[in-house]
Amino acid sequence: MIKKLLLASAATALLTGVASAADLPRRAAPPPVFTPVPVFTWTGAYFGINAGYAFDASSRATSTVFGIPAPYATVAGTTATFRDRNQDGFSGGAQVGYNYQFTPGSGVVIGIEADAQYLDFGRNRNNAFINGAVAPGFTVTDPRGLSSLDYFGTVRGRLGYAFDRTLVYGTGGFAYGSGSADRSFGGYAGNDNFRTGYAVGGGIEYALPVDSFLNFFRSSAVTFKVEGLYVNLERGNRNQGALVVNAANLVPVAYSAIGRRDDEFAVVRAGLNYKFGSY
């Protein structure tokens, strides 16, 4: 009898322990690990290439008349009339710069950029209509116009606003340019002077994903931009009019009195940049 009571007590205790264990709270599963997505920023240095189209943006007269003085004309009153050609062509080069964004994601972006560009305005020069006759051994030409420009460059500030990976900006600053003698006229280098001026414009730039197939340099971002610039280069007042040139040595012997003038042109271009620095 005592043995049966002991067995019953043990069974009751065992069942009570199991029930108590079932009532105990279960251990909570650990929360999932949260990995924040990096917020894009335009801050960082960059370099890239660009290509586009350049065209005359001046308001110069469509034609000029130059009276050829004696003894460079065999007929008294000989004149040369020059009609400007439309000058446009390819522009391409490279740029380097640095941006700083005040607030990652969306916010104000400031920066500085320098670029150097090749220019090809088709090597067009003004054609002259001669009313009379030029003396043998002399030619008449008008070296004005964009055809004498071989290259230009700028150093500009940039100010814009970023909408995450899209940046809208304005830009402006210093510009310079020059050309080779053979593109001025007949090889004479006297008209080939270094010019300085300014450039203003604006554009829009978009940052592609880091894993873009264009990211050859494993940069923090590849950006694509479309930009327009107006460039004004002051030429000064040195031999800027029509010229009578000695064909034997290509030295000007007479020129018209033309004051200071500017070379003005616009550039529309697309560019690709590789950004390094913050993501």
pLDDT in tens, 202-237: 999 999 877 766 666 677 788 999 999 999 987 654
pLDDT in tens, 141-165: 766 656 667 889 999 999 999 999 9
**Three state DSSP letters for the chain:** CHHHHHHHHHHHHHHHHHHHHHHCCCCCCCCCCCCCCCCCCCCEEEEEEEEEEEEECCCCCCEEEEECCCCCECCCCCEEEEECCCCEEEEEEEEEEEEEECCCCEEEEEEEEEEEEEEECCCCCCEEEEECCECCCEEEECCCCHHHCCEEEEEEEEEEEEECCEEEEEEEEEEEEECCHHHCCCCCCCCCCCEEEEEEEEEEEEEECCCCCCCCCCCCEEEEEEEEEEEEEEEECCCCCCEEEECCCCEEEEECCCCCEEEEEEEEEEEEEEEECCC
Give me the pLDDT at residue 143, please.
63
pLDDT in tens, 263-279: 789 999 999 999 987 66
| Full set of structural domains in the chain with CATH | 38-276 (2.40.160.20)
